[in-house]
Amino acid sequence: MTSYILKTGTDEFKDNAAKYYFELKEIDSFQQLPDDEWVKIALHLDDKNAFSLIDMMNSNNDSKLKAVYSGHESVDLIANNINKGNTLSQLLNQWEIKPEQLLAFGDSNNDLEMLELAGYSYSMGNAGEQATLVAKYQAPSNDENGVISTINSLIDELG
């Protein structure tokens, strides 16, 4: 899956995007986008503008898009029915696994549906308020290798 970024973006923005999107293609204008199915539009905004945009987008109940804060000054514009929880639910059905058996980690609002679905849901120590409220458990922060340390602890408990 290709992700598109403007050539005029700063090197800092491009380096940050490369951490999350593996196949980045630089283009001169978004008018050059191929006729393709899209999953989301990711925007990089300071927090004040990010939350203003989210409030504005989500106050329109007729919109086909939902705006979700995904951390790190990033807002995802996604189709209303697309989220990590729905996608994982489809996979669990396909693999005949119960949601109660799912272990999930999240730190931001784009993880809420996934955390609600998972039987073992962990918010990261540095998670946003909503993710912390939705998750059943809390792991150490991302900066403390919280995912791997929690998994190792669970493996040790299971023997």
Q: What is the pLDDT of residues 65-116, one digit of tens each?
A: 888 888 778 888 888 888 999 999 999 999 999 999 999 999 999 999 999 9
Contact by Cβ (8 Å): 107, 142:
yes
Q: Flag whether pLDDT at 40 surpasses 70.
A: yes
| Among candidate residues 42, 55, 40, 38, the one with its CA nearest the CA of residue 13 | 42
Q: Which of 31-35, 55-59, 147-151 has the highest mean pLDDT?
A: 147-151
The token pair that represents 40 in the structure block: 């989301």
Instruction: Tell how far CA 126 is from the center of its chain.
Output: 15
Q: In what order do the strands lie in the sheet with 40-44?
A: 40-44, 74-79, 65-69
The token pair that represents 94 in the structure block: 């396909």
% the chain with pLDDT above 70: 99
Lowest average pLDDT, out of 18-32, 105-119, 145-159, goes to: 18-32
Would you list the domain boundaries of the chain? 1-37, 38-79, 84-158
CATH of span 84-158? 3.40.50.1000
- Whether pTM > 0.85 for this model: the answer is no
Q: Flag whether pLDDT at 61 surpasses 70.
A: no
pLDDT of residue 114: 97
> Once rounded to an integer, what is the mean pLDDT over residues 117-125?
97
The tens digit of pLDDT for each residue in 130-152 reads 999 999 999 999 899 999 999 99
Give the start-end residues of each E strand in the chain.
3-6, 24-27, 40-44, 65-69, 74-79, 103-106, 120-123, 137-138
Amino acid at 80: N
